[in-house]
Structure 1
């Protein structure tokens, strides 16, 4: 027992109460290892939740990782399940674990669940770290953050360790990456970067999705303050940061959360609920309030301490469904006889409600792969409360269509038209993510049918379709320049491909397409409203052509998008148009500068008084093979230079002018389909 005046200042009775209620949103402020001064003496206070342990001691590199001597034992706070002690001799940078005696008398060494830093794998100890004191310079960025719904949002998804590597195949550090990544994102006009999980994990090939240290940025790439520096620099450059976050499951490794105090503590006791056999991991027990406090605090921690702008929540479907990827006999039904995990549903609602309480403009993006209703509906309307859902249906249909041989595409035309039906069911993000270019699925470029040249034309068409379909955007690294071999999850991207003309021109195409997206309000201002999209023709399956309008709030922002998905040109192709006048081609994926033929450029075109597609007026176009053509109504005073393709004559892969990032427009919030929690 301890009676120390400093204990009540470090851990209050209120802290303990809310932790056990599941509403401690900042439990990382008192759990874990914290530098403190007690009775004028500097040291670290260690606090851990291990309610079923017989003893808990501090094992570290100075006592040979034997923590059961009297001087090393933590004291149990009565009726709390918490153990704590102040150690005056401990300084920053000490390697430590908790030495736990289980109810069965086993001697266990566990890493700190709340540790802020950890050893570089394969070592597994936690490290004392003071994460306070970093001086941030991103206040201007944070003040500018508004609701995302009526703004451009184009995310570059990347795996930190394989985007680029040094000549000796070692990793760039967080600080070193700032010098490489930020100019590239700026040049390519991405609005955000999404890092695949950076929480500490023991196995490289898990890509970070099997965590052991939820509060510790992986030490593979540096220290916590090094990561703060990278995020600070990204924000100062006007680039948002999203972190892939994994509350669905955790690794079974012995030093981690599994059987933490000798009993199922963080996981369900029932293996039918805890086991995820497909991944070899364990599910969190969302019924335990202390686990909710742990996870919700962790989500807030990344926003509070690292200024993360949002989270992509991994594997949400596996949380929602008790039968996820399980056979009969591998799962138990809920109390009402259903397969819904009622505790996980409540947890998700609590998570989103809490995040928006503190960070109302945070991005909370669900990777939800089923047709679960109301993923982005407000909690008060019985929705889950996310503000974005990955549109997995669109992704699956789209990639299935684009990998289809040309002769069979007319029979699969519905894969292009059906996604429009559910486009407004949730606030959607369109993901062309890492999961689609690994494990034998081929790269985006290699998925395309046809000859070498047709593969590049096909990928240009896919990216153009992706950029003009309703929903925010996410592209995995390498897709922008045509990584030919699927993602090699231990090696860097094949940047040498930019020495080849086809890849260099595809890269230029991606750059120009991204700039077009940022510039044109019609491509994002009404993403989540049915008013933002209108078919011109959805049923020309015989020629594999689709055409539609993308609209902004003002009529002058309307774009005409016509996509030819066959490797043959369409001469004199007529589309119906409501508004008579002149139209200018502002983008064409077939420009020579992009690797196309450049033979079918539509200059300024006037409508004809010929009824077509139910409209009084029509335009006659020439559609290049495998192409995306975008037009806009010509108005007096418009600068037509925007319609010209990028000039590559004086540019190389190594020497390109930096793109000027447009000033972001602040728009009023759309009232339709905005999640309110």
Structure 2
């Protein structure tokens, strides 16, 4: 095998060449094993077309994999939940069970489960491949539901291709997207929230909690039914309509996919599906996740690979999702799940503590996804920094398109918590935001849903705290509120405009949504008060929230209106710690930040490309909650300095108010 490109590009990887090549070859060998070399991996990943319940011209056919079962019955409201002989499945080869039923046996909307018998016991089970699972409002019991509507939703926009230059992600949760103290629906989001996203200018929705999960408060990360869209939010057809209308508006839709673990529930989950604990999961001490109270998939089993790879293809094929953000990738990659690991050098990635089966699965998953849809987007939520993660398979990597830049929000929190404003170093900020591998695309973000959960704080809440309750009315701001509003805008602008591939914002954070996210639980009296978004605060023009929203909108539109924004190199122009001033250039835009909490500067000079510059974004503008100290109408002409003639640099001199960011565009 010739040296892989990833090793040639990064000399630090050369000592681990055999390990990297071994992982690469393992994926090649496993693909050959799964497909027999006779079909594509995408064709192999079509289990959802075979397993589960399917309507045929002559009736119904149902199949399930349960190799340790001794008998299986289909039970439901169509047979009074009793085990009747005519609903008994027949065993086939390789642990597969099957039943054929006439058309009149079951109908759309009816509920069903499996009664599975095994040596020493039996139990009701929701089918593993069920596409529709609902919970009884009164008994709280989950059952599969026959979903075969007479007039299923038909997609109108089937040739959609996402915009990737750059990818601007609006992370959202359907259930908590409404303002009322209840669970919002797919239709609610489509009618009320999607227009807001369109107006803001984001070109990608990242939707959380799509896969069915028993406990609402898990944020969707304890999945029970991997092929069922959460019925809490509506029907499969309503989700399809949401995705279709997002596509109509030019917005890609990706989902959080959870293949890192599964809920421990038995009836509605996979925990003891056919009476054995290791059907889908590792056995012994590796079975349970020590921190998440969940179960870990056995990625070494071909049947598990078939299940998970088919799951990837299913959401692309059935719902027209444009890709995935894979949750908990670090937990998958290491036997330690990344717990207690420091990851300080490359040896930590190749010391034998890695789950090569999981690495192989993720590599094949990326391959399947991009075979099904070459324009698909894959993002890894991964914090260890594994080098191969977002390098293409052809070059020796795992094939993710992006990795989450998880260190950035941690940096902002640490900076706000531990350093006084006077100690903020613009050079340190710039380094933290741009410190990444050259050929690796990342998703930059100041905060996601993680920073908004109870036990943590959003950036705006850290900056303003209790003053948010009393002094967010325009004209009644305190010094704390003014500081928070100014820094909130600067933090988001510098994070977004130093991105290398993508930028993400969590729903509501664009306007500084107050307080935290707390899902209904026993500790809060099962209240929905904090599991919602208070859009009324944004729509109230007497409050500062709309100013922050307007700034976010202006920032996103500026990025989108700049041709090939993401392809432009970021050139550091100025970094003066004493003044707390930073400037950098990207394409024909110059970004200038004055983080100084007390000093404003008149005629502050920045060395940059000669030309005529106009202010195109000013964080201090009145419409953005600022003091309107900068005259945006004045053009700025660079001033010649013979000392920098050979460098083709001249002085761009501007007025820089305290805690203000300016973006200037060179016109000539």
Q: TM-score range by the shorter chain?
A: 0.7 to 0.9
CA–CA separation in structure 1 for the residues paired with 2:490 and 2:644: 25
Q: Secondary structure at the match of 2:159?
A: helix
Instruction: Select the residue among 528, 536, 545 that pairs with 1:496.
Output: 536
1:319 aligns with 2:332: yes
* Equivalent in the alignment of 1:582: 612
Q: Give 1:376-391 correspondences, 5 Å limit.
A: 376-391=390-405
The alpha-carbon deviation at position 204 of structure 1 amounts to 0.6
* Equivalent in the alignment of 2:593: 563
The alpha-carbon deviation at position 373 of structure 1 amounts to 0.6
* Equivalent in the alignment of 1:277: 290
Flag the 1:397–1:176 CA change in 2: closer, same or farther, 3 A. Answer: closer
The alpha-carbon deviation at position 446 of structure 1 amounts to 1.4
Q: Report which of the two has the higher share of helix.
A: 2
* Equivalent in the alignment of 1:307: 320
Give yes or no for contact 1:577–1:615 (8 Å, CA) kept in 2: no
Flag the 1:465–1:82 CA change in 2: closer, same or farther, 3 A. Answer: same
The alpha-carbon deviation at position 130 of structure 1 amounts to 2.2
Instruction: Select the residue among 615, 627, 641 that pairs with 1:597.
Output: 627
Instruction: Select the residue among 31, 34, 46 that pairs with 2:51.
Output: 31
1:177 aligns with 2:189: yes
* Equivalent in the alignment of 2:486: 457
* Equivalent in the alignment of 1:470: 499
Q: Secondary structure at the match of 1:480?
A: helix
Flag the 1:28–1:503 CA change in 2: closer, same or farther, 3 A. Answer: same
* Equivalent in the alignment of 2:106: 90
The alpha-carbon deviation at position 54 of structure 1 amounts to 1.2
1:532 aligns with 2:569: yes
Give yes or no for contact 2:610–2:648 (8 Å, CA) kept in 1: no
The alpha-carbon deviation at position 241 of structure 1 amounts to 0.8
Give yes or no for contact 1:443–1:487 (8 Å, CA) kept in 2: no
The alpha-carbon deviation at position 23 of structure 1 amounts to 7.2
The alpha-carbon deviation at position 159 of structure 1 amounts to 1.1
The alpha-carbon deviation at position 58 of structure 1 amounts to 1.0
Q: Secondary structure at the match of 1:383?
A: coil
Instruction: Select the residue among 621, 628, 639 that pairs with 1:608.
Output: 639
Between Structure 1 and Structure 2, how many residues are aligned? Answer: 590
Flag the 1:322–1:189 CA change in 2: closer, same or farther, 3 A. Answer: same
Q: Give 1:418-429 correspondences, 5 Å limit.
A: 418-422=432-436, 424-429=438-443
CA–CA separation in structure 1 for the residues paired with 2:72 and 2:35: 21
Flag the 1:187–1:58 CA change in 2: closer, same or farther, 3 A. Answer: same
* Equivalent in the alignment of 1:60: 76
Q: Give 1:353-392 correspondences, 5 Å limit.
A: 353-392=367-406
Q: Deviations over 1:494-552 (max 9, x none)?
A: 2232324211211221222222121123632x1xxxx52111123x222222110112x
The alpha-carbon deviation at position 339 of structure 1 amounts to 1.0
Flag the 1:448–1:403 CA change in 2: closer, same or farther, 3 A. Answer: farther
CA–CA separation in structure 2 for the residues paired with 1:545 and 1:515: 25
TM-score (norm 1): 0.82
The alpha-carbon deviation at position 132 of structure 1 amounts to 9.1
1:249 aligns with 2:261: yes
Give yes or no for contact 1:61–1:95 (8 Å, CA) kept in 2: yes
* Equivalent in the alignment of 1:8: none
Give yes or no for contact 1:46–1:86 (8 Å, CA) kept in 2: yes
Give yes or no for contact 1:210–1:250 (8 Å, CA) kept in 2: yes
Flag the 1:280–1:132 CA change in 2: closer, same or farther, 3 A. Answer: farther
Unaligned runs of 5+ in 1: 1-13, 329-333, 552-557, 636-677
* Equivalent in the alignment of 1:443: 458
Flag the 1:132–1:33 CA change in 2: closer, same or farther, 3 A. Answer: farther
Q: Deviations over 1:402-431 (max 9, x none)?
A: 455444534685243244231635111113
Q: Secondary structure at the match of 1:414?
A: helix
CA–CA separation in structure 1 for the residues paired with 2:454 and 2:422: 25
Flag the 1:144–1:269 CA change in 2: closer, same or farther, 3 A. Answer: closer
TM-score (norm 2): 0.83
* Equivalent in the alignment of 1:658: none
Q: Secondary structure at the match of 2:655?
A: strand
CA–CA separation in structure 1 for the residues paired with 2:79 and 2:300: 37
Q: Secondary structure at the match of 1:244?
A: strand
* Equivalent in the alignment of 1:397: 411
What RMSD in Å do the two structures reach over aligned CA positions?
A: 2.7
Unaligned runs of 5+ in 2: 1-33, 342-347, 465-478, 520-527
**Greater CA drift, 513-522 or 124-133:** 124-133
CA–CA separation in structure 2 for the residues paired with 1:418 and 1:268: 38
Give yes or no for contact 1:406–1:566 (8 Å, CA) kept in 2: no
Flag the 1:240–1:515 CA change in 2: closer, same or farther, 3 A. Answer: same
Flag the 1:113–1:185 CA change in 2: closer, same or farther, 3 A. Answer: same
1:118 aligns with 2:130: no
Q: Secondary structure at the match of 1:220?
A: helix
* Equivalent in the alignment of 2:26: none
* Equivalent in the alignment of 1:639: none
The alpha-carbon deviation at position 72 of structure 1 amounts to 2.4
